[in-house]
Amino acid sequence: MAQTYTHFIGGKHVAGTSKRFADVFQPMDGTIRAQVALANGADVAAAVENAKAAQPGWAATNPQRRARVMMNFVGLLNKHMNELADLLAREHGKTVPDAKGDIQRGLEVVEFAIGIPHMLKGEYTDSAGPGIDIYSMRQPLGVVAGITPFNFPAMIPMWKFAPAIACGNAFILKPSERDPGVPMRLAELMIEAGLPAGILNVVNGDKEAVDALLDHPDIKAIGFVGSTPIAEYIYGRGCTNGKRVQCFGGAKNHMIIMPDADMDQTVNALMGAGYGSAGERCMAISVAVPVGEDTANELMRRLIPRVEAAKIGPSTDPTADFGPLVTKAALERVRGYVEIGVKEGATLAVDGRGFKMQGYENGYYMGGCLFDHVTTDMRIYKEEIFGPVLSVVRAKNYEEGLRLANDHEYGNGVSIFTRDGDAARDFASKVEVGMVGINVPIPVPMAFHSFGGWKRSSFGDHGMHGREGVHFYTKLKTMTSRWPSGIKDGASFGMPVMH
């Protein structure tokens, strides 16, 4: 009998009241693994009320003690790494080694959050005016929430709740209903690490739960990662309701390949960044831009056999390059895009649509697809496919390659592969994209820097984790103080000045 995921409120598993459920599938074989409860407004309200009651005591706990909970949590994540990775792989479809990377990149933000006593230090100016001192502090917002996607069910929840909780907030997590097992397990481990009940609550659900979070007056901030249309919806509704909102949407990440690039390094990078995790990454390279016909021809000569030889396997196969897509609907969607590309006139150099996994015929598998001679008016270039599909757009020169990245509506990540330091420096300065890699295919910053795209890949003023994350989850308070010292000023009706 399939297990049932409920909600996690006040340190306990709570059934909820909606009586609605969704199936959780195992992508590698298409079987139903579990059912997940879908929260209604009353369930969300219960989680928020519980968090609101717990938050003041947590905010009053000194930052060093809050950091110790994060330190304990890091130890538990490492202890349970294999268990978490297996669960993640079975519900998402990515391979176990890739799942461990998902967890590790989340763990790094938890490690960053251990340093929260330093990050919360304010500023102080002695004698800013006659007998006047000015100092500042950062204080938690209260109850905040995060809506996280299916493709990183460990990493992105930790990117959000670790800084928020370390800053003294209570956090409501609404993970994807497609793979809720790991987020639920993370909440359990946080309690085991010493987090007070109610500071991290998890409500599973769909749009009904999302809307309830967006409309609840006691939620002061909300973050989201997912597609751009939903990011726009959440940003608009959240801002209308007076919340601080941070939303990250879709992407179409380019890799500019200069004629002097190390082609072995380039092809290896494209294979991992384009097809890893079956392309279900917002930072995946989905557009390769070789500069010059000779570069393009050499790239295709080397890339075609590598894509054809990629090993696709079940999530539990440690030797597989990538596994299945997350759902049958996702598989059909990606196949549909490949058909669109063919109809639009792109050259389908490698067609992976016919791939079948022996013994796993009901799994959601698709081989790698590679398009050449893609043009900017094609849908496969304009839209995010989110699957193992790489498009090659040939550029005549460097300026055209730079323009392609700058003109696209998305601006999440971009890379340039070159041996020319001048070209790399010029590209880093001029490209209109939030995260830039130089001979690095997936330029996701480390935890002590901040993650964030530009243009229609990002909505809001702050990035995730790093100093930006701390600022998003705190509010600034500045004090101007003077203590009586025999000064007998008369009333002043002008604007105060410090002299």
Catalytic residues: 282
Q: Alpha-carbon distance 217 to 48, whole Å?
A: 10
Q: Alpha-carbon distance 348 to 346, whole Å?
A: 6
Q: Alpha-carbon distance 30 to 8, whole Å?
A: 27
Q: Which residues, at least 6 apart from 274, have a Cβ–Cβ distance to it below 8 Å?
A: 284, 285, 286, 288, 368, 388, 390
Q: Which residues, at least 6 apart from 266, have a Cβ–Cβ distance to it below 8 Å?
A: 255, 257, 299, 417
Answer for the pair 190, 163: CB distance below 8 angstroms, yes or no.
no
**Main-chain dihedrals φ then ψ at residue 255, nearest 5 degrees:** -120, 115
Give the 3-state secondary structure of residue 168: coil
State which H helix or E strand residue 130 sits in.
Answer: none
Nearest Cα neighbor of 322 from 276, 370, 367 is: 276
Q: Alpha-carbon distance 434 to 281, whole Å?
A: 16
Q: Alpha-carbon distance 367 to 322, whole Å?
A: 9
Amino acid at the residue 162: A
CB atoms within 10 A of CB 327: 18
Reading phi first (left if > 0) and then psi (alpha if -120 to 50, else beta), residue 16 is in left
Beta strand pairing status for 219-225 and 200-202? Answer: unpaired
Q: What is the DSSP string of 277-337?
A: GGG--TT-EEEEEEBSHHHHHHHHHHHHHHHHH--B--TT-TT-SB---S-HHHHHHHHHH
Token pair listed for 166: 């370390």
Token pair listed for 252: 């179409």
